[in-house]
A and B are shown apart, each in its own frame.
Chain A
Amino acid sequence: MRQRTTFFHRNEDAIDPASLKVSGRTLSGPDIKAVREDRFTLGLDELPAELQELLRLSQELYIRWTSPVPYQAVGPWSSRLSPGLHVFYTPQADTGANVASAHELCLLLRRLGPVDCSSPQPVYDLTDFVEYAVQYVCASSDAECKTRFGAVKQASSLDFSYDTISHVVKVTALWGRQDQSLSISAPASHRVEVGLLTPNQPPHLEEHEIGVTGLLTVLGEDSKPAPTMFTFPSRHKQAGTGFSSKFLTPTGLHPTMQLDIKSKSNRPPMEDSACALHALVTLPRTIFADKYQLEDPLFLASKNLTALRYISQPVDLEAPDYVMDIWGSSVLLELNTPVTESKEGFTAEIPLHLRYQAPQHGGESTYGVPYPAVFWACAAEEGTKFPSSPFDRINLGYDGLFGPRTLFWHLDPVTKSAGDQLVIEGKVPVLDLDKSRSINTVTSIVVVVGFAWVVYRLLMVYLRTGHGVAQPVKVTEKKQQ
């Protein structure tokens, strides 16, 4: 196992390098306001048996979890995803493995929270997973290990990556910009590398690159932090603006998700480059977008949308929530950025549709939709290469939908008020079970009464005239003429 811990801080949050102390396998210093990333690289034999079994049957497995608690990004970790759990999985080509591994995966996912493959719920909380991990990794007496893992509950994102080519597992936890305690000890069992980095603007820095400077320490090997300075290409950058998301009221059964794009964002972040603003919406299966509705250019334009670029399949436009076994869907929309000189920002509306939910007591059911990921996708210059960067995240669900030269400029999700989560809540009217007790009986009675009345009328006609030809109209009925 190898561990790489990186603190990335803004220039103004720098601390005095002299205040850092390296003693033996421990680095310590004053608290620092920074983003912290811990990356663990593990061999297959270091994993729990059930996970080993699953990975043996898998070609690729990427799990991306993002917290619903807003966080500030700094430096290379600017990529964004909708809060919740995203699983991207490719089984081995062998079809036998296919079924078996899907079953294993479902078992494993239950460790992450209320995720049942037959009725998955959004996972906004890692408590279940942390308890599982602590049980597996930490000895019962190892308090520090438990504290360290406990901190994962507060993580802003957690990634798990495996593919058969590298044959290693990378687990990455990220904590957003906040006060972080600088005290890291390396267990004897594995190598720990600590970096303390800040942005740097060397001359000739290309638009698709990030420059950094700072201190690197390999615990147990270095006696003091070594200064460093380097640049690397990065596909993900910060656009420097934000957006918020809400449902327009009244929501009814066809809620509209409104994206409020903050000022400046109607200008692409790169000059002289083809850029388009996109939103990747991740929807639990309660709610869906209708791809056919999103075909008409006039309709799209009226919502400030340009086109539907991708929608996961299948969606099923008719089934009620409670008979489905898919998790939900994701939708990539290109937004129409109004050409104005003003820096006011603009809104875009995404029309959605609710499925029928199971009847409930009280006649109402709630649902949550995570904020989408909103970003500019810009084509980098011809010939630009993006070799694997030490910090870039890959396989986020949308990067594969764009060409290899695409740069992503991310907008920060902003909540209406501090303390809110990046999930918008809605209510869906359902059949009220409190008032439903008599439905069966009363409907039956009414149907029987209606039926009986019609049969009675038929019988009267039959008794009067039989089943043959009708008799001529009686004179009395012509009287009114």
Chain B
Amino acid sequence: MANLLSRFFSSPSLVFTAAYFLRAVLLVYGLWQDANSPLKYTDIDYLVFTDAARSPYDRETYRYTPLLAYLLWPTTPAASASLPGPRELWASWGKILFAAADLAAGYLLVAVLRRHRGLSGPRALRYVGAIWLLNPMVATISTRGSSEGLLGVLVAALLWAVLERRVVLAGVLLGFGVHFKIYPFIYAPAIVWWMDAERMGRGVGGKSHGSHGLLEKLHRFVTPERVTLALVSLATFAALNLAMYALYGHDFLQHTFLHHVTRIDHRHNFSPYNVLLYLASAAQQSGGFKIESVAFVPQLLLSVVLIPLVGAKKDLAATMLAQTFAFVTFNKVCTSQYFLWYMVFLPLYLPNSSLTRHPRLGLAALGLWIAAQAAWLQQGYELEFLGRSTFVPGLWWASLAFFLVNCWILGLIINDLGTTSSTTSTSAEAKGVAVAPAPAPPSSSSRPSETSPDWGFDWTDLDDPTR
């Protein structure tokens, strides 16, 4: 059995084919369920997107960039009439796109693991396969028509581009990502901090004596790569926004950006602030200290300043994971689709993490993460469907417990930043040495097939995804 599994994970074509079929089966099953049951498989958001594809802001609750609506143009009745092939196929175009984005993200993750974190192909595949490609939660979310998969590939591509020193591409992806969903802006400081002259292969340049003046430090900080990244990402972001503003005017600003400023967030969700926000939104008078009005302070301090500062140069991928984790944990709204935002980084972090080095710790973290959610969901069910007022203490305690569990896990991830062993390739890169996929030392002697190639396509195909 173990032998069979390791043979399976040593073949990229097998894993990707399995991931493809998992999504294909779910997609077809979803079509069947939608056609035969009043309970729909398709996510309500997908109907919002495809409605918006006709004319973005005519659809209520469409809060995304019109670009997403454009991407889904083939789902509109007008489009599918003019496109070849059956209507049903084009109506599922968005789901196919999101599922394909999943696979593409998985491909990039494998590439990053192999080229920049020194994992062997089978080992990389095992992590990406188990956590992303073959994870039923990920496959279900994209085949139900939720656009988070697109974000996954975008963020994975951003990380890949940065690690590959493709600065212009990284800038474009960053600008686009922020335009698409705002939150990827938190990655900007981490990437900028990581991109120092040494790492970009410029050497230290005239290694000057001991103490540097502030001006010199600043001068050393402003490298051509950092300037390029800033200019390209800002230009991309600004150009997209100006174009969308020119086309949709205030509707675009209101629904894509301002909505997130003015929303009340009173409905129950996983955020520790949610009951407090509900209470505060209905309160007439104000007075005293209000933590919710400064909720962005711990959130941004962690995800934009402290975590990048301490972690980015040590391990960019794990830092981005910690940033996203902090952003989601300390956010004023939190729903399960947000978990996908950090899940995409897990395959990159876990191979060298304390969670896998100490399986008991890992299982405890996973168990607590699930248990706190389950407690919340149970209370939420009683509220939503049985009509019991479980806001206090049930939902409130559950959301606070979930928050504390998340803080603890975040602490573990951060702690690993100081002890991570992912430096094999980073140190090699820092010397400007061409990076060859370094086979990782086999972590256990019970995996002989790791070295016996049985793949449909060669590992070298994965080395350069741009090929």
Do the beta carbons of A457 and B414 come within 8 Å of each other?
yes
Mostly helix, strand, loop or mixed at chain B's interface? helix
Do the beta carbons of A296 and B276 come within 8 Å of each other?
no
Do the beta carbons of B272 and A446 come within 8 Å of each other?
yes
B26 an interface residue at 8 Å Cβ cutoff? no
| CA A117 to CA B358, docked complex, whole Å | 63
B4 an interface residue at 8 Å Cβ cutoff? no
B355 an interface residue at 8 Å Cβ cutoff? no
Q: Which residues on B sit within 8 Å (CB–CB) of A302?
A: 38
Do the beta carbons of B302 and A446 come within 8 Å of each other?
no
Q: Contact check: which of A301, A322, A454, A473 meets B411 at CB < 8 Å?
A: A454
Q: Which residues on A sit within 8 Å (CB–CB) of B403?
A: 446-447, 450
Do the beta carbons of A431 and B419 come within 8 Å of each other?
no
Q: Contact check: which of B273, B282, B310 meets A443 at CB < 8 Å?
A: B273
Do the beta carbons of A292 and B291 come within 8 Å of each other?
no
Q: Contact check: which of A322, A356, A449, A477 meets B419 at CB < 8 Å?
A: A477
A251 an interface residue at 8 Å Cβ cutoff? yes
A458 an interface residue at 8 Å Cβ cutoff? yes
Within 8 A of B (CB), among A421-443: 427-432, 435-436, 439-440, 442-443
The residue in chain A whose Cβ has the minimal distance to the Cβ of B48 is: A292
Do the beta carbons of B389 and A439 come within 8 Å of each other?
no
Contact with A along B417-439 (1 / 0, CB 8 A): 11111110011001000000000
| CA A451 to CA B36, docked complex, whole Å | 48
CB distance from A10 to the nearest CB of B (A): 44
Q: Which residues on A sit within 8 Å (CB–CB) of B443?
A: 481
Do the beta carbons of A453 and B411 come within 8 Å of each other?
yes
Do the beta carbons of A447 and B408 come within 8 Å of each other?
no
Do the beta carbons of A254 and B385 come within 8 Å of each other?
yes
**How many of A's residues come within 8 Å of B, CB to CB?**
64
B37 an interface residue at 8 Å Cβ cutoff? yes
Do the beta carbons of A320 and B282 come within 8 Å of each other?
yes
Do the beta carbons of A460 and B314 come within 8 Å of each other?
no
Q: Which residues on B sit within 8 Å (CB–CB) of A431?
A: 275, 278-279, 389, 391-392
Do the beta carbons of A465 and B282 come within 8 Å of each other?
no
Q: Which residues on A sit within 8 Å (CB–CB) of B311?
A: 461
B182 an interface residue at 8 Å Cβ cutoff? no
**How many of B's residues come within 8 Å of A, CB to CB?**
77
Within 8 A of B (CB), among A307-357: 317-320, 322-323, 356
Do the beta carbons of A469 and B430 come within 8 Å of each other?
yes
The residue in chain A whose Cβ has the minimal distance to the Cβ of B406 is: A450
Do the beta carbons of A447 and B291 come within 8 Å of each other?
yes
A444 an interface residue at 8 Å Cβ cutoff? yes
Choose among A358, A439, A443 the residue with the greatest number of B CB atoms under 10 Å from its CB: A443
Q: Which residues on A sit within 8 Å (CB–CB) of B406?
A: 450
Do the beta carbons of A461 and B47 come within 8 Å of each other?
no
**What would 22 A/B residue contacts be, using CB atoms closer than 8 Å?**
A252-B383, A253-B385, A292-B47, A298-B36, A320-B264, A320-B282, A323-B281, A432-B389, A432-B392, A436-B279, A439-B276, A439-B279, A443-B291, A446-B404, A450-B329, A450-B406, A454-B407, A457-B411, A458-B307, A465-B418, A468-B313, A470-B418
Q: Residues of B at under 8 Å CB distance from A?
A: 34-38, 40, 44, 47-48, 51, 60-61, 264, 266-267, 272-273, 275-276, 278-279, 281-282, 288-291, 295, 298, 302, 306-307, 309-311, 313-315, 326, 329-330, 357-358, 383-393, 396, 400, 403-404, 406-408, 410-411, 414-415, 417-423, 426-427, 430, 443-444
Q: Residues of A at under 8 Å CB distance from B?
A: 250-254, 292, 296, 298-299, 301-303, 317-320, 322-323, 356, 358-359, 363-364, 427-432, 435-436, 439-440, 442-444, 446-451, 453-458, 460-462, 464-465, 467-474, 477, 480-481
